[in-house]
Structure 1
């Protein structure tokens, strides 16, 4: 095969990768809009979106065929693969702590057990006199100092101007 034929094959593969990546990114957007609960939306927003971006960037690398551009695209893929799972984990944990996760849909619920252990350790520390009951409110995990039930609290943050001035 000649160099021109390999270039045509690379262009076709690049087009297929870009179309597949665009479809996955579109599916992620539809999943975020259509899925009923936080964890399903979070899954739809991270899994196909990440693979879709990788496919689009692979297609772009096949089309550009430039060393510097390919290395820049590799860095973008690595950064995406490192940050998307961490962001999804943090969103899920924050959603769980603020009561936005439907626990009836969970098969395994390790956070409830962890929170029960934290409550037991807090109660034991209060009983031993290491903490006073007023030191740690009931809805706060003493290890993280974050609320894990009900609505999130504003920790010294100023409310929005419209809320502060009573406007709607």
Structure 2
């Protein structure tokens, strides 16, 4: 039974990594590619490391597999976020089907400064509206 579980984990992990590679080739822009590679590949590696820990069943190997899983869970989303932001800031074109760009109102491409959402809301409160009576 344990061999079936290990084989299933390896097979599902490998399929997720294959899906990640296909997403990298087929998806239209940087941000969607980052999403595919980060989510699917990270989960694929986690499943394979779980199978490795189950296969060897030694404290040292299980500890290393757990450390790798923890490292991937911590670093993969952060790395994808940083690479995606860097790609956006250097002007990588978004897909033509992109519906919403939440950074556009807060990003100044000339100074490369990004205003936080709080600064934007505070500035909107301070500016008088055209419909307000004086």
How does the TM-score come out when normalised to structure 2?
A: 0.77
Q: Between the two structures, name the one with larger relative contact order (CA 8 Å, sep ≥ 6).
A: 2
CA RMSD in angstroms comes to: 1.9
Unaligned runs of 5+ in 2: 116-134
- The answer to whether residue 132 in structure 2 is matched with residue 140 in structure 1 is no
- For residues 102 and 73 of structure 1, the distance between their equivalents in structure 2, rounded to whole angstroms, comes to 37
Q: In structure 1, what is the Cα distance between the partners aligned to 2:96 and 2:22?
A: 24
Partner of 2:73, secondary structure, is: helix
Q: Give the counterpart of 2:42 among 50, 61, 65.
A: 50
Preserved CA contact (<8 Å) 2:23 2:33: yes
Distance in structure 2 (CA, Å) of the matches to 1:30 and 1:60: 25
Structure 1 alignment gaps of length 5 or more: 1-8, 120-137, 145-168
Aligned length: 115
